């Protein structure tokens, strides 16, 4: 029986937690209530049987335990009579069975939780940490490891973020039309950064969590940029199996075995791109996804439609001017017009991209292709010094050795 409870925790724990946050108005109270509810299930279900509506039972039990604890601690905040009666029900009470279309209500709670964790008044680091902890259910230790910070540091970020939510009375809600653009942009940025971290570090669980979040957002809020972000993640993730060798070394895009690419994910991602492009209001995520779709749909590296990719980068630069996007466009120009054409665009960008290892790495690669081996050595050394991940360093060091460094 406890195996059933454990399986239900893995499948429905986040949903129960999200609803308890809304009902109790506190992350900490909801965490305690979630724990209490599953402990109660493990104790009662073996003798009483699994209830017909186990999620409703857990929500009810967790809320009842929370109210009981607040009473004992003499910190009870008055609940309206109907809510307290609902909380006291341990099983299939009509109030829970008719919980405003229970399944949709729980999904809406999860979306409210995402928007609360990603409120723009919180720092970017706090948004990411809080989202991974409270929405994705990752442990504090796992999040700290993914972002290369100490567990106490990460824990403090989460504590400060929760305190700010409480002190600023940040509402637990999906914002209305007037506030939605700024709030949604914050949510999408966090999901994008979480995916990028997982993708770059080959942390598959982290990338998968970001895709799960993007799917949730797309199901409940199918706006163009939500669609575009989901497409972008699917298309990049489709290359996962080909991105590394058996020893963990990175494989450049043009050298990857494309038979290993996930064609089903590419097909889904490309269809999402088409859908987003047909809607008014698409932006940078959709344009990046369109570029990724062109890469994904090319059977061979030589078949890549570089002119169309450059055209998309031109539009993307107008939508979101950025030296990183300019760098990517320069690489595409090099693939179409030759390495010297790309270098003429990259070299002026290097001062603005100090600290970003991909910039000197791209310059080094083009210098190598152009036969400028001395320049290639200097750029490879700079890239090695900046690379955060060991697999990236190994590839760069191998390239450095190939040009005589």
Which pLDDT score is estimated for 53? 75
Chain segment 232-251, per-residue pLDDT in tens: 999 999 999 999 888 888 89
Chain segment 195-237, per-residue pLDDT in tens: 887 887 777 888 888 898 899 889 888 899 999 999 999 999 9
Chain segment 61-72, per-residue pLDDT in tens: 887 777 666 655
- CB distance 248 to 212 below 8 Å: no
The chain-wide mean pLDDT, for the chain, equals 82
- CB distance 381 to 239 below 8 Å: no
pLDDT-based confidence at residue 123 (cuts at 50, 70, 90) = confident
- CB distance 400 to 381 below 8 Å: yes
Chain segment 365-376, per-residue pLDDT in tens: 999 999 999 999
Which pLDDT score is estimated for 292? 97
Which pLDDT score is estimated for 71? 55
The more confident residue out of 20 and 169 is 169
The more confident residue out of 389 and 251 is 251
pLDDT-based confidence at residue 346 (cuts at 50, 70, 90) = very high
- Mean pLDDT on 142-164: 82
Which pLDDT score is estimated for 96? 35
- CB distance 134 to 113 below 8 Å: yes
- CB distance 197 to 206 below 8 Å: yes
Helix, strand, or coil here: 136?
coil
Which pLDDT score is estimated for 85? 38
| Six-digit token string for 253 | 């895009």
Which pLDDT score is estimated for 100? 36
pLDDT higher than 90, residue 175? no
Question: Which segment of 74-78, 126-130, 356-360 scores lowest on mean pLDDT?
Answer: 74-78
The continuous run of DSSP H or E covering 199 comes out as helix 180-200
Which pLDDT score is estimated for 90? 32
Question: Which segment of 33-47, 274-288, 322-336 scores lowest on mean pLDDT?
Answer: 33-47
Chain segment 95-122, per-residue pLDDT in tens: 333 333 444 444 567 778 888 888 888 8
């Amino acid at each position: 029986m406890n195996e059933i409870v454990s399986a239900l925790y893995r499948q429905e724990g986040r949903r129960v937690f999200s609803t308890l946050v809304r009902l109790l108005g506190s992350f900490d109270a909801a965490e305690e209530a979630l724990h209490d509810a599953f402990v109660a299930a493990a104790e009662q279900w073996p003798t009483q049987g699994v209830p017909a509506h186990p999620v409703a039972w857990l929500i009810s039990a967790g809320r009842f335990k929370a109210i009981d604890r607040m009473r004992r601690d003499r910190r009870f905040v008055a609940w309206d009579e109907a809510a307290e009666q609902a909380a006291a029900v341990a099983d299939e009470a009509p109030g829970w069975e008719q919980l405003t279309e229970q399944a949709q209500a729980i999904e809406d709670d999860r979306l409210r939780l995402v928007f609360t964790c990603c409120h723009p008044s919180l720092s970017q680091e706090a948004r990411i940490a809080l989202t991974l902890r409270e929405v994705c259910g990752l442990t504090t230790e796992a999040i700290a490891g993914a972002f290369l910070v100490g567990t106490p540091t990460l824990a403090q970020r989460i504590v400060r973020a929760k305190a700010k939510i409480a002190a600023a009375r940040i509402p637990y809600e999906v914002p209305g039309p007037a506030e939605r653009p700024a709030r949604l942009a914050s949510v999408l940025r966090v999901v994008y950064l979480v995916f990028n971290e997982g993708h770059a570090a080959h942390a598959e669980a982290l990338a998968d969590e970001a895709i799960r979040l993007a799917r949730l957002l797309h199901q409940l809020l199918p706006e163009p940029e939500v669609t575009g972000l989901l497409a972008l993640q699917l298309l990049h993730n489709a290359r996962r199996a080909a991105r590394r060798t058996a020893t963990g070394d990175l494989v450049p895009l043009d050298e990857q075995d494309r038979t290993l690419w996930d064609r089903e994910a590419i097909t889904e991602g490309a269809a999402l791109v088409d859908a987003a492009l047909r809607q008014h209001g698409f932006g940078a995520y959709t344009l990046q996804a369109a570029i990724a779709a062109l890469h994904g749909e090319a059977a061979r590296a030589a078949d890549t439609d570089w002119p169309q990719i450059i055209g998309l980068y031109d539009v993307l630069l107008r939508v979101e001017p950025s030296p990183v996007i300019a760098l990517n466009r320069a690489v595409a120009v090099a693939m179409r017009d030759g390495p010297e054409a790309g270098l003429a665009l990259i070299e002026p960008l290097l001062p603005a991209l100090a600290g970003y290892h991909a910039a000197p790495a791209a310059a080094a690669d083009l210098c190598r292709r152009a036969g400028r081996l001395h320049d290639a050595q200097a750029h490879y050394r700079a890239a090695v010094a900046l690379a955060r991940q060991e697999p990236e360093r190994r590839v760069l060091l191998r390239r450095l050795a190939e040009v005589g460094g």
